[in-house]
Amino acid sequence: MQGVNGLGILGGLLLCAGAALVLAGPAMAQDADYRVNQLIIYGDDECPASSGDEITVCARKDEGERYRIPEDLRKSDDPANNSWTDRVEAYETVGASGTLSCSPTGLGGWSGCQQELLKAAYGEKGEAASIRFGELIAQERAKRLSTIDEDAADEQSRVEVLEKEYEARKAAEAEAAASGTELTPSDDTGGQ
């Protein structure tokens, strides 16, 4: 596919990238005289003002994070931190061969490879250092479960009101049947 003046798309992109570098050169030279001070501040702490030759950039975190170990260091992927259960499971699969083993030996050894890949992917997903979906899911579950009691109480009170209306309607029908009169919709205490 040809672009402008017979140049290909790739040629046009290279031309644009070169022009961007030439134009950005003077701007980068101006910023070389500045020092950048990057700070993490907590709670309502004030970010220090920038001075003449220093740019101060502040990242704000919650007050509860002030004396905690940084998030990246809280959980370790070091094999020494694995539980004994995980270690034993690893030892159980060392000599695996045959069906569902994901090995080149034995009949059907290839058949366990997808299962092994899925297990590894879910393991990585649960142990990822940056995003811990397992913890997020547990928090969301706890939030949902906290409203169950309140929702159940509301539902129970609605059911009790409907039961009382039904019993009142049945009592009115029985009374009307005993006296020999017919109920009209306006006489019905539970009707709408």
Q: Tokens 């539980």 correspond to what residue? A: 83
Q: Encode the chain (192 residues) as per-residue pLDDT tens digits.
A: 444 455 566 555 555 555 555 555 544 444 556 678 888 899 999 988 888 778 888 888 899 988 888 877 777 777 787 888 888 877 776 777 777 778 777 777 778 888 888 888 887 766 665 556 566 667 777 776 787 888 888 899 999 999 999 999 999 999 888 887 766 665 555 554
Task: Let me know whether 153 and 127 are in one domain.
Answer: no
In a domain, 74, yes or no: no
In a domain, 125, yes or no: yes
Total domains in the chain come to 2
Which H/E stretch holds residue 71? helix 71-74
Question: Going by C-beta distance under 8 Å and a sequence separation of 6 or more, which residues neighbour residue 168?
Answer: 189, 190
Q: What is the DSSP letter of 37?
A: E
Q: Give the structural domain span for 182.
A: 147-192
pTM given for the model: 0.28
Which H/E stretch holds residue 57? strand 54-61
Amino acid at 191: G
What confidence score (pLDDT) does residue 77 get?
75
Q: Can you say how many angstroms the Cα of residue 80 is from the centroid of all Cα atoms in its chain?
A: 28
130 — phi, psi (to 5°)?
Answer: -85, -45
In a domain, 18, yes or no: no
Dist CA 34 CA 53 (whole Å): 5
Q: Assess contact for 101 and 112: CB atoms under 8 A.
A: yes
In a domain, 78, yes or no: no
